[in-house]
Amino acid sequence: MGQIEWAMWANEQALASGLILITGGIVATAGRFTQWYFGAYSIVAGVFVCLLEYPRGKRKKGSTMERWGQKYMTAVVKLFGPFTRNYYVRAVLHLLLSVPAGFLLATILGTACLAIASGIYLLILWDRR
Amino acid sequence: MLSAVTDLGSIESTVSKNLPVVSIHQLGLCLSRASASVLNLNCSLILLPMCRTLLAYLRGSQKVPSRRTRRLLDKSRTFHITCGVTICIFSGVHVAAHLVNALNFSVNYSEDFVELNAARYRDEDPRKLLFTTVPGLTGVCMVVVLFLMITASTYAIRVSNYDIFWYTHNLFFVFYMLLTLHVSGGLLKYQTNLDTHPPGCISLNRTSSQNISLPEYFSEHFHEPFPEGFSKPAEFTQHKFVKICMEEPRFQANFPQTWLWISGPLCLYCAERLYRYIRSNKPVTIISVMSHPSDVMEIRMVKENFKARPGQYITLHCPSVSALENHPFTLTMCPTETKATFGVHLKIVGDWTERFRDLLLPPSSQDSEILPFIQSRNYPKLYIDGPFGSPFEESLNYEVSLCVAGGIGVTPFASILNTLLDDWKPYKLRRLYFIWVCRDIQSFRWFADLLCMLHNKFWQENRPDYVNIQLYLSQTDGIQKIIGEKYHALNSRLFIGRPRWKLLFDEIAKYNRGKTVGVFCCGPNSLSKTLHKLSNQNNSYGTRFEYNKESFS
């Protein structure tokens, strides 16, 4: 168990959560639910999370399969330096982003999924202690 | 897809029959019901390719005589993945539709038909609906479980961290339990007294807002162009008579169809797992452990009542190495009627194989080839599960077979060669082209003895063209020509550099005109792709190449 690289899974989860947030947001805004502006927020947050998590991080050992076209996004993500490299920052960021989406029914699943991804990033940090 | 379309059609007619004129919702219900029926089908089918013992039995039994049907079994993993992706997509549709439904149930709460509502009062918060009803809560949990399973099942994760995939995928059982509860909520109802309260009937106790005068009602609703056969609108209204409701509508919950769909495959899968568990509970007896060059270890063992066909694989489970992990290895030697010993060749690549080797071959004696007898008493307990089928079993059923191995990928063919060494007459195979590509010359010593013995046997029996061996050394390093004087037959068949596949295929086609040649490859993906492409190309000799693909992760 100790050899498992959780970071890769957390990355996949965060990417999937971003997509779920976008879908939920579209359903909410299109259906004109009450408080539909949460839906609009959810779309924006989802796009941001997707772009941030698109580049797949390098594995500790072994070869990493890059996602198609990820080098363009990597250049942008690298600009923010330590803010994006650090897992602690990512975990907290995902947790904060997921909270507003929890108020609306259509996006509540996006909240749950992003919170789980944030939990896995925190697990990595706890494991490293 | 077909089930969704037919269900959508039938649901629309059912909806218009059962829902009152003031409808609660239409599109959301249709979409969620249609996607639910697709999910029913896929959740039941997805378990079937995982019943590996059953598939191995079907592959070997006489009841499946056609080669085409057996080749379908090769695609079982692809089928499983396709069902998984479909479940993922249609779950998304189902959830989105139900979210819209939840909102509509609360906003368009109908006082006339209290039983049909999922909401308990008007404008009930849809989030409460989601979390306090059985279908809602189980639905949310299922989405979370599905999310965990799918994110861990991507190709990148399977290739790099198989453990994450394996441990999360075992959550499928939780998913099925939740699914069973999810449909038991009784949300969908049908009307039981259609004869006494037909749709569209007028109740005499209603308020005036509902009691529209009849001619107006009909003229409003039937003011469309009439099909041929109807002469006048007046005649049409005369034929329609007023229906008066005898009693209030009564509703009863539908029987959950999902239980019917998933119970069969789930029981089958559980029975299979139980059978495998009972069968693998007895440990094997390790006879000998040998160390081969290039980090390969051979283990020979015996087990009571173990039967396997050449080309099949088993999984090894050693609790002293890891309590939970199982690793698949192809059998290189199958038990026969005269000899019950079977064996596997393992290449030491990861942490499990390293620890396994350290337990079986203590570091001090790893240089010597055969372990002294005194150590055999300290072997750890080893359990095996299997044997499971693979496409390589088919190579004995073609008249001509081309087997290409890359490195350690020679193991399935080793069992085929061992079987031919034992007795080649019962099988349909009459000519075998065996091509083995390796990077290091020492690797050929894994099976050099076997190849020489086979070659000699066929020379003795005056069938020198039965097996055609070609060994290729893909990395040229100078002094690698000699692998030992006693392997003279192999030395003359050793080539430096990669094989030229097009020429090889042309040569095989020329010498086997009009025949069907089975092509089998066990090696890196690039090799597999090249051979697949070449097999599908036409040639001028009328020879057909059938490529049999094995999928590893």
Q: Is the pLDDT of residue B167 over 70?
A: yes
Per-residue pLDDT tens digits for B86-134: 999 999 999 988 888 877 777 666 666 655 565 566 566 667 767 888 8
Mutate to test the interface with B, among A35, A63, A109 (most CBs of B within 10 A): A109
What are the chain A neighbours of B105 within 8 Å (beta carbons)? none
What is the residue-averaged pLDDT of chain B?
A: 81
Q: Which of B127, B151, B160 sits opposite A105 (nearest CB)?
A: B127
Q: How far apart are CA B321 and CA A75, in angstroms?
A: 43
Nearest CA in chain A to B97: A27
Nearest CA in chain B to A120: B148
Mutate to test the interface with A, among B95, B147, B322, B525 (most CBs of A within 10 A): B147
The model's pTM: 0.83
Where is average pLDDT lowest: B101-105, B284-288, B383-387? B101-105
CA distance B99 to chain A (A): 6
| Residue B268 CA: distances (Å) to CA of B264, B300, B403, B453 | 6, 33, 35, 44
What are the chain A neighbours of B156 within 8 Å (beta carbons)? 8, 12, 56, 65
Q: Do B143 and A12 touch (CB under 8 A)?
A: no
Q: Are A127 and A6 in contact (CB under 8 A)?
A: yes
Domains of chain B: 19-133+185-193+251-271 (no CATH), 283-361+380-388 (2.40.30.10), 391-550 (3.40.50.80)
Where is average pLDDT lowest: B174-188, B242-256, B263-277, B431-445? B242-256
Q: Which of B99, B148, B155 sits opposite A106 (nearest CB)?
A: B99
Does B347 or B550 have the greater pLDDT score? B347
Mean pLDDT across B377-398 = 89
Confidence of residue B20 (pLDDT cuts 50, 70, 90): very low
Per-residue pLDDT tens digits for B511-549: 999 899 999 999 888 999 999 999 999 888 899 999 998
Q: What is the 3-state secondary structure (H, E, C) of B122-169?
A: CCCCHHHHHHHCHHHHHHHHHHHHHHHHHHCCCHHHHHHCHHHHHHHH
Per-residue pLDDT tens digits for B423-468: 899 999 999 999 999 988 888 889 999 999 999 999 999 998 999 9
Mean pLDDT across B128-151 = 87
B21 and chain A in contact, CB less than 8 A? no
Q: Is the pLDDT of residue B223 over 50?
A: no
What are the chain A neighbours of B119 within 8 Å (beta carbons)? none
> Long-range contacts of range A114-120, CB-CB < 8 Å, 24 or more positions apart?
A114/A14, A114/A17, A114/A18, A114/A21, A114/A49, A116/A13, A116/A17, A116/B144, A116/B147, A116/B148, A117/A10, A117/A13, A117/A14, A117/A17, A118/A14, A118/A90, A118/A91, A118/A92, A118/A94, A119/A91, A120/A6, A120/A9, A120/A10, A120/A13
